[in-house]
Structure 1
Amino acid sequence: MSRNSAEHDADVIVVGAGPAGATTAYHLARTGLNVLVLEKTAFPREKVCGDGLTPRAVKSLVAMGIDTSAEAGWLQNKGLRIYGGGMRLELPWPDLAEFPPYGLVRKRTDFDETLARQAQKAGARLHERTTVTGPVTDERTGRVVGVTAKPVREAGGSGEPGSGAEVTYRSPVVIAADGNSSRLSVSAGRMRRENRPMGVAVRTYFESPRHDDDWLESWLELWDGKPGQSNLLPGYGWVFGMGDGTSNVGLGLLNTSTGFQNADYRGLLKAWLSGMPPEWGFVDDRQVGPVRGAALPMGFNRKPHYASGLMLVGDAGGMVNPFNGEGIAYAMESGEMAADVVAQALARPDGPARERVLESYPRALSARYGGYYTMGRIFVKAIGNPQVMKIATRHGLPHPVLMRFTIKLLANLTDPRGGDAMDRLINALAKVTPAA
């Protein structure tokens, strides 16, 4: 049952309808709350991503009731195929009780809209082409009590997004799910933390006979010049078959390397692809669309995740995994966590009791990810040294047992209770490592 009163436009306002916002809105709407989602673009829309989903993300899709069958347009994958040090190694996703033993591939143009429409089916109200311009704060307390926004000028849908008259929407809780730049968070005074790792991903599509490959492919050796005559960069390249005649091909780099700021990412992508077999089709005349890039905000690079009526989920809170650059799974998981906290909070009267519940959200995030993300920050700092990266690639890959441990660690795929010795070791390390 909705709990909003005449003075509010919704129980909860969610800014952004990407994976974080749509998942948050879905789980909130399922509780009967009046949920308003404001999205600056219109679906379908383009987003820069590898389009590959690990079992963590699949679990969240299942929890939303999404049909992930091949008939519904999803391509399953078995695990990770790794190239490096002259070796090729296939590592199946681990067989766990906590997560399904398969991943998925789906273009973001379809994926984001699928989640947004699922949130609508659950009862969330979605306003597309509505640009949020800033928070509304209580003059006395400074608490965020809503947002200002500019919808498309004409109700019929013509005109530019955000070209209409400014409108004010009010709610007891506002959730920022507006991505890496998170203008709403910045407007509320929450800046990016410069001591957290940041990544950059660039990708494009090629028509390729490898489009139906049922393994996610990771290439661990990226050089800033000719292999063996230059530095090995901290990052990896990927090839993900899309099942539609194309492959998503891209690379991700970390800012822990000395040349990060001056790197020509598109040039690196082109140089890396020049070494691929020509029959794979990763050549200029088979390219579909331009090379696009995006930032990867990692390791809780914006805090606090809740304060004074404003809650951050997904990329807005810097929740990309530092180990592997995965963001969608953590966007969806944090959205579900946020929804649970907000629903419990709004079941209490406005005041200190409600605020205590809302303030539990950052602690829940820290308990789940804090130690693991700290380990990730240590990891990315270490592989910023080319010699460390070279040793890890050349001497780690020949050991399958070590690599099975590595895939569990990097993809954060363990059973939290029980599990095998690898699970217990990774879980223990994450538990004893201090969150920061």
Structure 2
Amino acid sequence: MPETAKRWLRRQRTRTAPEPRRQQVPSAHSSQAGTGPADEEAQVIVVGAGPAGSAAAFHLARAGVDVVLLEKGTFPRDKVCGDGLTPQGVHQLVRMGIDIDAPGWTRTRGMRWVCEGRQVHIDWPRLGARPDFGLTRSRHDFDEILAGHAREAGARLHTHVKATEPVTDRAGRITGLRALAGADKQPKLYRAPVVIAADGASARTALAMGLQRDPSRQVATAARRYYRSATRTDDPYLELWADLLCSRTQRDLPGYGWIFPLGDGRVNVGLGALARRQHGSVDLRATMEQWLARLPQEWGLREENADSPWRSAALPMGFNRRPQYSRGMLLVGDSAGMVSPWSGEGIGQAMEAGEAAADIVALAMLRPTGPAREEALRQYPREIQRRWGTYYRIGNSVADLVLRRYGYRPLLNRRLMASPVLVRFLARTLTYAADETAHDAVDTVLRTLLRLVPAPDLSHGTRKP
């Protein structure tokens, strides 16, 4: 992004005056019916108030853009997640001004990998551009905090609004959304020249616009349950197990198990696994029961201490939906398959992509409707490619050639776990902690590797015929 544009955005975000402007946007011609008394207009519509959508709405509102944030559910709400944030995610919370010292946030020092009876502690790297700690917090109220922050910044947050179909002009460009609003599901039309789709793994808005998932890209499944555990709730490390076996085949799980402390008397215990083409799907519930039986009795991870139902969800990975910008619509977070193919992390990437989308849209709105604005919006997939394209391309290959077949056990062999240098390299690779301000050997090797591999083109994809 040009330096002048960055300075403009900084001035917009730090200004102390006032309410974000409410500029009326002329209605575009629609192939659907006309507007009615319940219609609502904005400069930008964001669909979905998860981490990606709330981050996008927050940064847009801070830049003075009139933005509507639509959420089909209500808050608080539950989400299937590990509830853990790496320093990348913490960095995004700080950029949004979230009070991470308030009650409910628990800091972590790093990861503890367990494999074949051995343990290795990997502290979060101390780099100049990011915090040196992670956080945990239940998704039960995490999303509510972010959405509330977007509303306080000036975004118009509407809950209980389910988008049902896009509205397009004669050229097929999205100009709004039809929705069912409120408990009585009243039809309503929302209009805007730009739509940011952040509606999660279902990607209903993207699908309705004909953007299909790439079947060659990774898809994983995660399952988790909360347990009461007095001995593990204040653990300063996120614990990950790499030597788990699938219950049916007794082959290595193509993923890992986790035990994440929440600091409130509970732990989040779960599994994440890639789909295995050769041997079918993994029975995560049976595999988890087999794993829990191995754990020490005093940890309390037994049925009588369960604090939630068993829940699972899909993890769209490795940019499995493209293009990430098309005909007035940008994809962020899970709707674009932004979960890391290396680690399964998705919250940090979703929030960062939301900010990137907001930056680009805010600048695009300064241009007149037409080719000039369109060229600005097309910078979004290029920016995503610049940030993660090569890293995800390598990760997709590693996931397909190694993780899908053998799990994480090969990456955590005895020789690697005995080498501090290799352990640091693995930690930075799994969490993508390359930093231009760092000058040690590990960071130099990682940046060199990423430069040597060409990034994929994320601006093109498969559309429904």
The TM-score, its normalising length taken from structure 2, stands at 0.88
Q: C-alpha displacement at 1:400, in angstroms?
A: 2.5
Counterpart Cα distance in 1 of 2:226 and 2:180: 34
In structure 2, how many angstroms separate the alpha carbons of the residues matched to 1:216 and 1:391? 20
Question: Aligned equivalents of 2:427 and 2:304: distance in 1?
Answer: 35
**Does residue 136 in structure 1 map to residue 155 in structure 2?**
no
Quote the residue 2:180 is aligned against.
Answer: 150
Identity of aligned residues (%): 45
Q: CA deviation at 1:46?
A: 0.5
Distance 1:342 1:362 in 2: 12
- Asked whether the equivalents of residues 235 and 253 of structure 1 are also in contact (C-alpha less than 8 Å), the reply is yes
Question: Are the structure 2 counterparts of residues 330 and 52 from structure 1 closer, same or farther at C-alpha, using a change threshold of 3 Å?
Answer: same
**CA contact 2:124–2:132 (8 Å) conserved in 1:** yes
Greater Cα offset, 334-343 or 163-172: 163-172
The DSSP-based 3-state class of the residue aligned with 1:36 is strand
Letter in 1 for 2:198: A
CA contact (8 A) 1:55 1:100 kept: yes
User: Which stretch of the first structure deviates more once superposed, 323-332 or 385-394?
Assistant: 385-394
- 445, 452, 456: which one aligns with 1:432: 452
Cα distance change, pair 99–117 in 1 and its aligned pair in 2 (3 A): same
Contact conserved, 1:82 with 1:219, CA < 8 A, in 2? yes
The reply on whether 1:231 has 2:231 as its aligned counterpart is no
1:28 matched residue in structure 2: 60
Instruction: Quote how far apart the aligned CAs of 1:366 are.
Output: 0.6
SS, match of residue 253 in structure 2: coil
Deviation of the 1:300 alpha carbon: 0.5
The answer to whether 1:373 aligns with 2:392 is yes
**Residue of structure 1 equivalent to 2:265:** 245
Query: Cα 1:353–1:296, aligned 2, differ >3 Å: closer, same or farther?
Result: same
- Verify: 1:287 aligned to 2:306, yes or no: yes
Q: 2:236 corresponds to which residue?
A: 214
| Paired letter, 1:404 | R
The correspondence of residues 181-330 of structure 1 with structure 2, limited to 5 A, is 181-209=202-230, 210-225=232-247, 230-256=250-276, 258-259=278-279, 261-330=280-349
- Paired position in structure 1 for 2:35: none
2: CA distance, partners of 1:389 / 1:28: 39
Match of 1:349 in 2: 368
**1:146 is paired with a residue of what secondary structure?**
strand
Give how far 1:298 is off.
Answer: 0.7
Structure 1's 247 and 54: CA in aligned 2 closer, same or farther, altered over 3 A? same
Contact 1:98 1:414 in 2 (8 A): no
Deviation at 1:187, TM superposition (A): 0.3
Deviates more, 1:83-92 or 1:387-396: 387-396
Residue type at the aligned position of 1:264: D
**3-state secondary structure, aligned to 1:72:** coil
The residue type paired with residue 343 of structure 1 is A
Distance in 2 between the 1:372 and 1:262 partners? 26
Provide the secondary structure at the position in 2 that maps to 1:272.
helix
Task: Work out whether 1:400 is the aligned partner of 2:412.
Answer: no
Report the CA distance between 1:95 and its aligned residue: 0.3
Partner of 2:98: 66
Map 1:29-44; keep pairs closer than 5 Å: 29-44=61-76
SS at match of 1:65: coil
| Amino acid paired to 2:90 | V
SS of aligned partner of 1:22: helix
CA distance in 1, matches of 2:281, 2:204: 26
Tell me the secondary structure at the aligned position of residue 212 of structure 1: coil
Aligned counterparts of 2:197 and 2:117: Cα–Cα separation in 1: 44
Shift of 1:385: 6.0
Shift of 1:364: 0.6
Shift of 1:251: 0.8
Given that 2:254 and 2:407 are in contact with CA atoms closer than 8 Å, whether structure 1 keeps it comes out as no
In structure 2, relative to structure 1, the CA distance for the partners of 1:58 and 1:390 (3 Å cut) is closer
Contact 1:18–1:177 (8 Å) recurs in 2: yes
* 8 A contact 1:306–1:359 mirrored in 2: yes
Normalising to structure 1: TM-score of the pair?
Answer: 0.94
Q: Which amino acid aligns with 2:305?
A: R
2:343 and 2:57 mapped to 1: Cα distance?
Answer: 27
Unaligned runs of 5+ in 1: 153-158
Could you tell me which residue of structure 2 aligns to residue 93 of structure 1?
A: 124
CA-to-partner distance for each residue in 1:77-115, whole Å, 9 max, x for gaps? Answer: 000111002211111100001110000000001110000
Q: Distance in 2 between matches of 1:89 and 1:148?
A: 52
d(CA) in 2 for partners of 1:435, 1:314: 19
Match of 2:380 in 1: 361
2:32 counterpart of 1:12: no
Residue in 2 that maps onto 1:79: 110
Distance 1:349 1:126 in 2: 27
| Contact kept? 1:256, 1:380, Cα under 8 Å | no
**Native 8 Å contact 1:256 1:381 kept in 2:** no
Aligned 8 A contact 1:217 1:238 in 2: yes
8 Å contact from structure 2 (residues 151, 157) kept in 1:
yes
Cα-to-partner distance string for 1:398-424 (whole Å, 9 max, x where unaligned) = 323211110000111121344312112
For residue 264 of structure 1, report the CA deviation from its aligned partner. 1.2
Superposed CA RMSD in Å reads 1.6
Please report how far the alpha carbon of residue 391 of structure 1 lies from its aligned counterpart in structure 2 after TM superposition: 3.6
Moved more, 244-253 or 390-399: 390-399
Contact 1:197 1:256 in 2 (8 A): no
Amino acid at match of 1:174: V
Question: Structure 1 residues 15 and 289, CA, compared in 2 at 3 Å: closer, same or farther?
Answer: same
Distance in 2 of aligned mates of 1:255 and 1:65: 37
Cα deviation, residue 72, structure 1: 3.1
CA contact (8 A) 1:13 1:35 kept: yes
CA contact under 8 A between 2:127 and 2:437: conserved in structure 1? no
